[in-house]
Amino acid sequence: MSLNATNPFDSIAQTKGPNRSDYEAYSSKCFFSYPPNGTGFQTGYLGIGPSIVSGRFQLRYPKNRSINISKITLDLKGGEFFSYSKLDSVQTVNNNFFESNIVLWSSANYNNDNDNSELVSELDLRFKFKLDDDLPPSFTYNNIASNASTCGVIYMFEATIYNDNGIHKVIRCICPITRWSLPNLVKQPEPLIRPKYNNRRWNNLTNFGGSGGGGGNEIEDIIYDAKLENKTYNMGSTVNLLISLILPPTFTSSIKEVRLGIKEYQILQDSGYSVHLAKYKVADNVHKGKEFIKEVIVDEKDGGIKETRYLLDLELDIPKYDIMPDFDFDNIRELNHVKLEHQLKVRIKFGRFKSLILKSEILIKRSLSEKKLALAIKNGMIY
């Protein structure tokens, strides 16, 4: 090869496109690239406006090593999956819910009876797929410590290259899909509740506590008022929570710690076998008891303690990026195996065995900022 010759193996590095790790079946001579000036395949705001995925499929073979091909097809496939360990073996569940296909290229004399392949060294083939409005976003989670090791929703490009003998090569590449929601303009206040003992998620975090030897349950006698200002939040927004507590006169303990957090759950289910997986905390904030003012109300008649009051003013920042937004409330295509939930939990700790637990399910959206939304509306990108 001369010094001025083009090395085909450098082509993928010179083109803006997916990383090598995004390919399930890879070739340095056949690869995908993004649209001009793009940083991904997707354009538009799926969920609130029309959206497409587009790009190029490229072939780069040395001219002295051209290949005979008759046709190239491209499929975009979407599906949910999860795998789990059961009886020392790994079980995998798949459900394909979307597929669209096109013919990217065919030889000049191609027909179904006679392939009539051509010698090809370079091709730049543009493609475009329209996304259905009700498609869920893509995501993947791994949890090796759990009996459900992998779960998610994934979209994949599958390019198939044919020659006279049938399939010559298949290239598969992940196509990330993002879904959006309109900003939450109407507030939906949501009360926090004490979880029940038989609640499957909270059975290890229920309200408990006794006085000394354990006679009676002081925690149950606490009167509280706690209400979220909203049930739905945007990624990157802040949760504000005001909690008022009235402790009975027999309750002598003070608040030692208050923990406010959001947990993300994936609920995975197969016919006859279900898994409930608590993934991780996506947000967490801890306050020491001394940060809160304790108001003791004294009985005017006998001078004894009538009740003790606390007013807790709490807030928690929701991550802007490292969190998966809820999607199954937003007119989305129903999934059979993978569900997602977020729950906010407050743990008010009075002592080692005295904790009041309050919780509420919340919804987290991926929304545009006011500036981006106004621009998108102006450009006709929103329904």
Angstrom distance (rounded) from CA 85 to CA 189: 40
| Higher-pLDDT residue of 324, 110 | 324
Do residue 220 and residue 254 come from a single domain?
yes
| Higher-pLDDT residue of 109, 158 | 158
Do residue 203 and residue 169 come from a single domain?
no
End position of a domain, from candidates 174, 201, 229:
174
Q: Is residue 373 part of a domain?
A: no
In this prediction, residues 193-212 reach a mean pLDDT of 50
Query: What CATH number is given to the structural domain containing 103?
Result: 2.60.40.640
Task: Tell me the whole-structure pTM to 2 decimals.
Answer: 0.81
Do residue 140 and residue 213 come from a single domain?
no
DSSP-derived 3-state class of residue 64: helix
Query: 208: which strand partners?
Result: 355
Angstrom distance (rounded) from CA 77 to CA 263: 30
Q: What pLDDT does 205 receive?
A: 37
Locus of tokens 């259905």: 132
Is pLDDT above 90 for 348?
yes
Q: How confident is the model at residue 214 (pLDDT cuts 50, 70, 90)?
A: very low
Q: Residue 353: left (phi > 0), alpha (psi -120 to 50), or beta? A: alpha
Q: Is residue 36 part of a domain?
A: yes
Q: Is residue 185 part of a domain?
A: no
In this prediction, residues 152-171 reach a mean pLDDT of 94
Q: Which DSSP string do the residues of 97-154 spell out, in sequence order?
A: EEEEEEEEEE-TT--SS----EEESEEEEEEEEEPPTTPPPPEEEE-TTSSEEEEEEE
Quick one: tokens of 314? Answer: 């709490």
Do residue 145 and residue 232 come from a single domain?
no
Do residue 129 and residue 261 come from a single domain?
no
By residue range, what is the domain housing residue 125? Answer: 8-174
Is pLDDT above 50 for 1?
no
Q: Which DSSP string do the residues of 258-287 spell out, in sequence order?
A: EEEEEEEEEEEEETTEEEEEEEEEEEEEEE
In this prediction, residues 183-199 reach a mean pLDDT of 77
Do residue 99 and residue 216 come from a single domain?
no
What does residue 358 show for φ and ψ, rounded to 5 degrees?
-125, 145
Pairing of strands 354-365, 232-234: parallel
Q: How many CB atoms are located within 10 Å of the residue 334 CB?
A: 9
Q: Is residue 342 part of a domain?
A: yes
Which of the residue ranges 46-55, 207-216, 274-283, 341-350 would you say has the lowest mean pLDDT? 207-216
Q: What pLDDT does 272 receive?
A: 62
As a dihedral over the C-alpha atoms of residue 344, residue 348, residue 351, residue 353, rounded to 10 degrees, the angle is -50
Do residue 96 and residue 214 come from a single domain?
no
- In b/e form, how buried is each residue of 212-229, taking b as 16+ CB within 10 angstroms? eeeeeebbeebebebebe
Q: Is residue 38 part of a domain?
A: yes
Is pLDDT above 70 for 17?
yes
Q: Residue 8: left (phi > 0), alpha (psi -120 to 50), or beta? A: alpha
End position of a domain, from candidates 174, 199, 217:
174
Q: Is residue 137 part of a domain?
A: yes
Q: Residue 142: left (phi > 0), alpha (psi -120 to 50), or beta? A: beta
Note the pLDDT tens digit of each residue in 171-186. Answer: 999 999 999 998 877 7
What is the overall mean pLDDT for the chain? 85
End position of a domain, from candidates 125, 142, 174:
174
| Higher-pLDDT residue of 90, 44 | 44
For residue 314, which amino acid is it?
Answer: L
Q: What pLDDT does 352 receive?
A: 80
Do residue 127 and residue 252 come from a single domain?
no
- Structurally, the chain folds into a number of domains equal to 2
Which of the residue ranges 18-27, 46-55, 158-167, 294-303 would you say has the lowest mean pLDDT? 294-303
Q: Which of 306, 315, 169, 179 is nearest to 240 (CA)?
A: 315
Q: What pLDDT does 347 receive?
A: 96
Is pLDDT above 70 for 235?
yes
Q: Is residue 308 part of a domain?
A: yes
| Higher-pLDDT residue of 114, 269 | 269
Q: Is residue 260 part of a domain?
A: yes
Q: Residue 207: left (phi > 0), alpha (psi -120 to 50), or beta? A: beta
Note the pLDDT tens digit of each residue in 242-291. Answer: 999 999 998 888 999 999 999 988 777 776 666 656 567 889 999 999 99
Do residue 354 and residue 218 come from a single domain?
yes
Angstrom distance (rounded) from CA 352 to CA 105: 69
Do residue 217 and residue 250 come from a single domain?
yes
Do residue 201 and residue 166 come from a single domain?
no
In this prediction, residues 101-106 reach a mean pLDDT of 96
| 107: exposed, middle or buried (Cβ count in 10 Å: 0-12, 13-18, 19+) | buried
Do residue 128 and residue 88 come from a single domain?
yes
